[in-house]
Amino acid sequence: METVQTTPVRTPADRPRGARRWHALGLPLAVDVALPLALYYLLRAQGAAPWLALLLSGAVPAAHALGAAVLRRRVEVFDLLVVVLLAVSAGLSAFSGSPRVLLLKDAGIPAALGLWILGTLCAARPFPFHFGRRLRGPDGARAAERAWRELPQFRAALRRMTVLWGGAQLLDAALSAVWALTLPVDVVPVLGRCQSLAVLGAVVVLTVRRSRTFRARYGVPLFGVPAPDAAGS
């Protein structure tokens, strides 16, 4: 009897770690940054009014957020924030007739995000601790919980990281608001995206450097899985 060989279906979890990380980083950058920016300037080149081009290009991240919520069957706070800010700014822009109201949406998102990150300083665990759960895995999660309970330097380092991340988002929001109110409308989208990527890049570099320094000093990673010798001890 002839047997039929079937090809196993690969799931996202079966992808190499590097591919998963690139997918997690590349897709948001393409959908939330590159595609809206390209769509805005394409619409402007076709003669669309600035407020209409901003509205349609801003709808791309909102649609992506709604689609992700449907697939996950739950609504994340950030997804809801994107949709609400687009709806509110679109309504205010239509009422006032000014496209600058829509530009201020790009300041509202990092402002709300920065305040939320800083607000986790009052929670049982700050935001960087919960963010690290996505990188640690079960063994790393247990080591992180133990480090949080037993190592004051670990708690202090994550709280300083919280201030860094939240402060960077507020800086991004403040600069975006200034550009939205003072610069020519067609300059603001590309300048704002470049500025946000620069701020994010600086935060990533500082985070990696501080994480490596902390691990070298205390033998405990702020993020990720502990080394085998550290896990065994």
Domain shared by 124 and 174, yes or no: yes
Residues 231 and 225: their CA atoms lie apart, in Å, by 9
117 found inside a domain: yes
Domain shared by 64 and 113, yes or no: no
Among 57, 72, 97, identify where a domain stops.
97
Question: Could you list the residue range(s) of the whole structural domain that residue 91 is in?
Answer: 18-97
- Number of structural domains (the chain) is 2
Domain shared by 182 and 89, yes or no: no
Domain shared by 152 and 227, yes or no: yes
pLDDT-derived band at 144 (thresholds 50, 70, 90) equals confident
Domain shared by 197 and 232, yes or no: yes
pLDDT in tens, 2-51: 444 444 445 444 445 445 454 545 666 677 778 888 999 999 999 998 88
Domain shared by 27 and 127, yes or no: no
Domain shared by 152 and 51, yes or no: no
Residues 73 and 4: their CA atoms lie apart, in Å, by 36
Domain shared by 88 and 109, yes or no: no
- The arithmetic mean of pLDDT across residues 91-106, rounded, is 79
Domain shared by 91 and 140, yes or no: no
Q: CB–CB of 31/61 below 8 Å?
A: yes
12 found inside a domain: no
Among 70, 97, 124, identify where a domain stops.
97
Task: Transcribe the chain into DSSP letters.
Answer: ------PPPPPGGGS-HHHHHHHHHHHHHIIIIIHHHHHHHHHHHTT--HHHHHHHHHHHHHHHHHHHHHHHTS--HHHHHHHHHHHHHHHHHHHH--THHHHTHHHHHHHHHHHHHHHGGGSSS-HHHHHHHHHHHHHHHHHHHHHHHH-HHHHHHHHHHHHHHHHHHHHHHHHHHHHHHHS-TTTHHHHHHHHHHHHHHHHHHHHHHHHHHHHHHHS--SSSPPPHHHHH-
Among 45, 68, 97, identify where a domain stops.
97
9 found inside a domain: no
2 found inside a domain: no
Q: Name the more confident of 223 and 161.
A: 161
pLDDT exceeds cutoff 70 at 153:
yes
pLDDT-derived band at 171 (thresholds 50, 70, 90) equals very high
